[in-house]
Every structure is written in structure tokens, then in C-alpha cells.
Amino acid sequence: MKKIIRLVAALLLFASFAVHAQTIPIETKNNALVLHVNSDGYLSMVYFGKKLADKNEYQHIPATQNLDEGNLYSSAYTTAGTRNVLEPAIAVTHADGNKSLELKYVDQSFSKLSDDVSQTNIHLKDPVYAVEVTLHYKVYAAEDVIEQWSEISNLEKKEITLNKYASANLYLQAKNFYLKQYHGEWAKEMRPEEEKLTHGIKTLDSKLGSRADLLQPPSFIVSIDKPASEDDGEVLIGNLEWSGNYRIDLEVDPNDNLRLIAGINNYASDYKLAAGAIFETPKLVYTLSHQGKGEASRNLQEWARKYQLVDGEGPRLTLLNNWESTFFSFDEQKLSEILKDTKKLGVDLFLLDDGWFANKYPRNDDHAGLGDWQVNKAKLPDGVGFLVKEAENNSVKFGIWVEPEMVNPKSELYENHPDWVVKQPKRGDYMMRNQLVLDLSNPKVQDFVFGVIDELFTKNPNLAYIKWDCNSVIYNAYSAYEKDQSNFYVDYVKGLYKVMDRMRQKYPKVPMMLCSGGGGRVDYAALHYFTEYWPSDNTEPRERIFIQWEYSYLYPALASSNHVTNWGKEPLKYRVDVAMMGKLGFDIVVGKLSPDDLLFSQQAVKNYKDFSEAIWHGKQYRLQSPWDNDVAAIVYVDSLKSRAIVFNYLVSQRFDAGSHAPVKLKGLDPAKQYIVKEINLYPGTKSGIKEGTYSGDFLMTVGINPEVHDDRASVVLSVEERK
Ligand code: DGJ
């Protein structure tokens, strides 16, 4: 009898996993990512490239390939502890201590979410242990973008541990792979490096906790076969939507193919998952182009504006910020003057920066006050409300700086809630910028942080803008709240998103700048809550050209807050022209501008507003890179191809550096006639270019010389269709 029962059980088990081999194509407008289930039920990724005209032909792909036996290397979600011996995407310790996992295909579902968006879900299951995984592929067809993530379900009777839990596991087949990655530090964001990947694993990662992207952002640009140029070559651009520790492994396998595994960093994070719970990983967003990095970046920019940024298809506010003009030292009178200057300059909003809060330990420098979000009575006796009113009187809007996740030990918040702070109980403090990080894994801290923002809006309903800063990484990672410290890094970020979700539910559209002492936290998860980001504290304009240039491979121009400051020695025109290639702002003392500088700035703001449609929502084409040209050039073309704006900047200081040849434009209609003019001319100067009417064909084939030289170091051109 026992034998029969065992036989029936074995048959049932076999029946539940006896699957038909099949291919699962996931198509975008131009591409297909093809998965394959073999007759043993293992899922692998067999193709990612141009899509085929006939869908039925995808099934022939697996037979054409030189894959390893059992398709282990090409697994669509590589497990650990069984047959696989390469880097896993998932590793689990079961409730009984066993560390093995196998995942086999169960079923799939598909849903069409709109004309453009659809989702394929593939359900996998371990035949032995009660652990299941669903792989999600969300397709944005027109943009050629895919978001991929997974859900891990613990159906065991007790807690299990997730030792690794990647979002995506891609497999690319080609001869060679080239990785362009970024590194940075404060004021040195987005420095690129490109190299050929060799066998073994190249890891991009962060262990910084908060502002996790300070040293390296979670982005990659992988060229396939040969290094892609701006308009040529196959290239994959990706970004992990996660604002904490991440890990992206790029492994050239024994078959010379590329395994790319991206997700939360499992460093110090063996995540405890309760019985019955589901762990949802963050999303990896990526796009594949066959026409170089330019098209790939435009795909991502388009997707971000449509689906990811707050109000990505809406307008942006030009502004005057007071950080570099006053630092912590201001009062009502000084700010009232600045509010008048805001109007004089012609921008939309005044942004009050750090230093407006705390009384017992006033925020007069960066050693005290963080955490005590009550208005400082000595500086602002009439409160924030007075400034909002004063802004209204000047017909401008008012915005304010906050850094609600942080605390100075010298604060009432720290005195009252030492257990809300991330720090080791038995060790001394170690700080970045004299501050510590609040423990956002604790729901009470989440309430507090949400409360800071909520109170500002409740008391000042006309508050029009927030700059949300974050200036410290996490040292001495320890939470007094967490039962298990291994969950802390992950729960910290999830706690942050809970706060952001609440905030966006209540205040869905208020413009907010994502700042992190510069670009320490720019990723597509954070940007889901923000309208824009602060690329770097480094606003020296030549430096900024390089920084803004590189961010543009990942993010759209309307999200890049570019402020004109006094950094560097370049004339005001150069600084303004550079800031105009994104979201324009100022952080200067308007009252100290010469009459010509003021006149120039006022006219530039008008020109910016005039061309903002092209800059914010048009297509961006990088024309000449600052890395290998004397003159960097970039153009923004509106969706009707009727208006464009071209920015040209001298970046070399060598003798006779300049534009010795025409710059070829891109993205215009060859058949249209365009009037080309120089704009943003400094008072008293004349255009140095051959203004006139040219066909789009001419401008794109022969080009136009912006006549950039050391006495004309930046030149802005308007290109308007002659109707
Ligand atoms: C760091 C930011 O990057 C600056 O713009 C400024 O807001 C300071 N923090 C204020 O402390």
C-alpha cells in the first residue's frame, strides 16, 4: 500500500512539473526578449535583440544556440545550492536550514494595461520546498523599455532567509561586451569609464545605505559586440530602481556570453521573510537600441517623462535659490529683498534653503538643529507664512528646503528620541557632515518624517516647492527597532518609500527636488516621487557641462536642476547658457549684478521660457561630446520638428580652440526650411554666425558653424521653421 501511495505521489509530482517546451517572446516596438522553457521545466533567456516579423519563428531560436547543457548559464533566474555553480540571482535558506533551491516553470499570465503598456508574469516553483517566484516583465512598447522585477513567496510554515534576491537576471549573447559605468564623489558626480568586459565578474555596488549613489550610481551602459557610439551600435542602458544598497554583477560566462544580475545588495542583508510573506524586489528598468547610445537615452528619457517622474509631461518652475548667496545667515528683511529680486529676474519661484529652523539649537551652521523643524524665531519671527505672503505680494511662488531623514546630535529631536537614530549602541558616533540618519525602518519615525512635510503644507497651503536633501550615508548600521538587523538596510529604504507614497498621495503634484548633497541619490525609484534632481553641488560651468552631459544618458533634461552660481571664472553668459540645457535656476545675488548682467539674465529667462517646450519635452540629441571636442554641442527639437535650440560651449582652453568646422544638427525635418539665429546675446554684442534660412537637410548634412572661440565661449542658436 505504502509503495502505491509513493508511486501516486511521485506521478502527481511529475505531472505537476511535466511541461511542454515552449518559447515566450516579450516584444517591444523594435525588440524581443525571448524566454524558453525546456522539457525539464527550466526557464532560460535565449534571445534579446531585434524582433522578428513572424512571431512563430521565435521557437526556432533555442536550437540555433551554443548554450551549456541544461541551460544553466542562461537561466532567467539562477538559483543556488543545486545544479548551478555560477553567480545566483536567488539564494535561500529554508526553514529547516537547507540551502538548496530549484525553480521550475508553472504557468504564465499576460495583461494589457494600455495601448502602450503590457505585463507578462512567469510563475516558477521549487518542486521540493514551498518557495515560489514570479518574474514580472512590464513592457512599454513604444519606448522600447522593459521594467523587470520578481516576487518571492515563502509558503513554508516558518520564516525563511533570502540570502540573495535579485530583480533581474539577463543573458546576452554576443562576441564582446563593453561596459560604460560611472563613479563619483561629492562635486565629482557621473565620471564615466568604459572598458571591455573580460571573463569573471565585474560588480557595481553600493553599501552606503542612504544617499547610496554617492560613489557609484546604479546605472550601466552595455555595448554589444563593439563600443556603441552616439548613433551606431547595439546598446543596453539600465538603471536599478532602488535608493539603497544595490549590486549589479556583470559576468562573462564560460561560453563568452554575458550574465547580468541586478538587485538589492545582499551585503549584511540576509533578509528574513516570514511564513506566508511575499518579498517584492525593486524594478530594473532597461532599454535596448540598435542605433547607439543616443537613441537608447532618448527611449529612457521618453519613458521617464511619461511614466516615472512626477508630472514628467508638465511644466517646470524657474527659480532663485539663496543657498550660495546667504548660506545660513539671513533674516526676514534679507529674504524680502531676495523675493523682490526673484520677481526682478523674471523667474517663477524663490527657494529658501537650509537654516530656517530650530530654536534651542539654532541651525546657524551644519553642526546643530537638524531634526527640529520649528521656524527659527530669531531669523523669521513671523514664520514661513510671512514669506509665502511676501512671495505672493511679489507675484512669485515660494518653496523651502528640508532634510527630514537626518538629525544633528545637537538637537531636541535627538535628546527626546535617541532610539530613533541609526547608531551602534555600544560604540561611538561616526558622522558625515555632523549628522546621523533617522531610522526609517521604524513606523514612528516614518510618521515623524511624513509629519514634517505635512505640517509645512498644512500650515502653508500655498507652499509651492520642496527641496528634499539627504547629506549623510549610513555608518554604524544598527536599528533599535528591528528585530533582526539583517533586514535593516532593506527596510530603511522601504520605510523611505512608505513616507514618499503617503506624501504623494496627499500632495500628488507639488514640484519637489531630489537632492542629496548633489547627486548622491539619483535613481529611478527616488525619481518616481520627484519632479527633478540636483545633479551636483559642483556648479562650475565647465564641470557642469560634463556632469549634465553624462546624466543625460539616463535622465531627461527637465529633471536636471541647473543653477547659475558664482562657481568658477566664466562670465555670467556662459554660466546661464550652461544652466539652460536643463531646468534653469539661479543662486546668485541679483542685487550685485551689473546692469548688463541683469539685463542679459532677464532676457535669457524669457528665451528659456520661449524654448522650454523643446528643452523639457522635445528630443535631445548630443551633437559633439565635450570629452573629445573643443566645443560641446547639444540640440533639443520639439515634437513637431518646428523649433529647436542648440547649445554650444567651448570646453578646451588650448591655443586656438574653437569651432573650426560646422556642427551638424540632428532630429530636424530634412524637407523643412529653418531660420537660424543666435539668441542669448550679451547686451552690446552682435551675432557671430551666418544667420539665415537653411533646409533641415542642409543643417543636418553640412551643419552650421556656431563660431565658438575664446571671445565667444558659449553660443545659443534658435532654429525655427519658416512657415
Ligand atoms: C547640500 C545641497 O546639495 C546644497 O544645495 C544645500 O542645499 C545644502 N545641502 C544645504 O545644507
pLDDT value at residue 521:
95
363-420 confidence digits (pLDDT tens): 999 999 999 999 999 999 999 999 999 999 999 999 999 999 999 999 999 999 999 9
User: Nearest residue CA, atom 10 of ligand 1?
Assistant: 354
Residue 351 Cα to ligand 1 middle (Å)? 12
Distance CA 376, CA 76 (A): 55
pLDDT value at residue 70:
72
Which atom of ligand 1 is nearest to 401's Cα? 7
Mutation pick for ligand 1 pocket among 321, 328, 356, 401 (CB with most ligand atoms within 8 Å) = 401
Residue 620 Cα to ligand 1 middle (Å)? 28
Residue 721 burial (10 A CB sphere; 0-12, 13-18, 19+)? middle
Residue 340 Cα to ligand 1 middle (Å)? 23
Q: How confident is the model at residue 5 (pLDDT cuts 50, 70, 90)?
A: low
Tell me how far CA of residue 588 lies from CA of 88, 244, 341, 518, 607, in angstroms. Answer: 51, 33, 10, 18, 19
Distance CA 36, CA 569 (A): 58
631-682 confidence digits (pLDDT tens): 999 999 999 999 999 999 999 999 999 999 999 999 999 999 999 999 999 9
Strands 714-721 and 673-679: antiparallel
Q: What does the block give as the cell for 673?
A: 526650411
Closest CA to 222 of 165, 298, 171, 283: 171
Q: How confident is the model at residue 13 (pLDDT cuts 50, 70, 90)?
A: very low
Closest CA to 104 of 138, 131, 74: 131
Mutation pick for ligand 1 pocket among 326, 433, 469 (CB with most ligand atoms within 8 Å) = 469
Residue 535 Cα to ligand 1 middle (Å)? 12
pLDDT value at residue 71:
77
User: Nearest residue CA, atom 6 of ligand 1?
Assistant: 323
pTM score of the predicted model: 0.96
Q: What does the block give as the cell for 710?
A: 575664446
pLDDT value at residue 6:
52
**416: number of Cβ within 10 Å:** 11
Q: What does the block give as the cell for 106?
A: 508553472
When pLDDT is averaged across residues 560-576 and rounded to a whole number, the result is 97
Which atom of ligand 1 is nearest to 537's Cα? 3
Q: What does the block give as the cell for 636?
A: 533639443
90-135 confidence digits (pLDDT tens): 999 999 999 999 999 999 999 999 999 999 999 999 999 999 999 9
Distance CA 645, CA 651 (A): 19
Contact 78, 140 (CB under 8 A): no
282-330 confidence digits (pLDDT tens): 999 999 999 999 999 999 999 999 999 999 999 999 999 999 999 999 9
When pLDDT is averaged across residues 492-510 and rounded to a whole number, the result is 98
Closest CA to 543 of 467, 632, 470: 632
Q: What does the block give as the cell for 307?
A: 511614466
Q: How confident is the model at residue 4 (pLDDT cuts 50, 70, 90)?
A: low
Least confident piece of the model among 6-10, 180-184, 465-469: 6-10
Least confident piece of the model among 84-88, 139-143, 329-333: 84-88
Residue 371 Cα to ligand 1 middle (Å)? 15
Residue 545 Cα to ligand 1 middle (Å)? 20
pLDDT value at residue 682:
98
Contacts of 636 (CB under 8 A, 6+ apart): 557, 581, 611, 614, 615, 618, 619, 620, 621, 644, 645
pLDDT value at residue 14:
46
Closest CA to 689 of 673, 704, 709: 704
**530: number of Cβ within 10 Å:** 24
Q: What percent of the chain has pLDDT over 70?
A: 97
Distance CA 584, CA 591 (A): 19
Whether the per-residue pLDDT at 17 is higher than 90: the answer is no
Contact 532, 579 (CB under 8 A): no
Element containing residue 389 per DSSP (H, E):
helix 383-393
User: Nearest residue CA, atom 9 of ligand 1?
Assistant: 517
pLDDT value at residue 30:
98
26-71 confidence digits (pLDDT tens): 999 999 999 999 999 999 999 999 999 999 999 999 988 877 777 7
pLDDT value at residue 255:
92
Closest CA to 371 of 442, 445, 441: 445
Residue 380 Cα to ligand 1 middle (Å)? 20
* Edge-to-edge strand ranges of the sheet holding 583-586: 532-533, 512-514, 465-468, 397-402, 349-352, 319-321, 583-586, 561-564
Residue 279 Cα to ligand 1 middle (Å)? 35
Distance CA 309, CA 312 (A): 5
Residue 455 Cα to ligand 1 middle (Å)? 22
List, as one string, the DSSP characters of 78-138: --SSSS--S--SEEEE-TTS------EEEEEEEEE-SSSEEEEEEEEE-SSSSEEEEEEEE
Distance CA 504, CA 310 (A): 9
Whether the per-residue pLDDT at 616 is higher than 70: the answer is yes
User: Nearest residue CA, atom 1 of ligand 1?
Assistant: 517
Whether the per-residue pLDDT at 2 is higher than 70: the answer is no
Strands 465-468 and 512-514: parallel
pLDDT value at residue 3:
53
User: Nearest residue CA, atom 3 of ligand 1?
Assistant: 517
Phi-psi group of 648: left, alpha or beta (phi > 0 → left; psi -120 to 50 → alpha; rest → beta): beta
Q: Show the ligand 1 pocket: residues with CB < 6 angstroms.
A: 323, 353-354, 401, 469, 471, 515, 517-518, 534, 537
Mutation pick for ligand 1 pocket among 214, 537, 539 (CB with most ligand atoms within 8 Å) = 537
Element containing residue 201 per DSSP (H, E):
strand 200-205
pLDDT value at residue 67:
72
Whether the per-residue pLDDT at 515 is higher than 70: the answer is yes
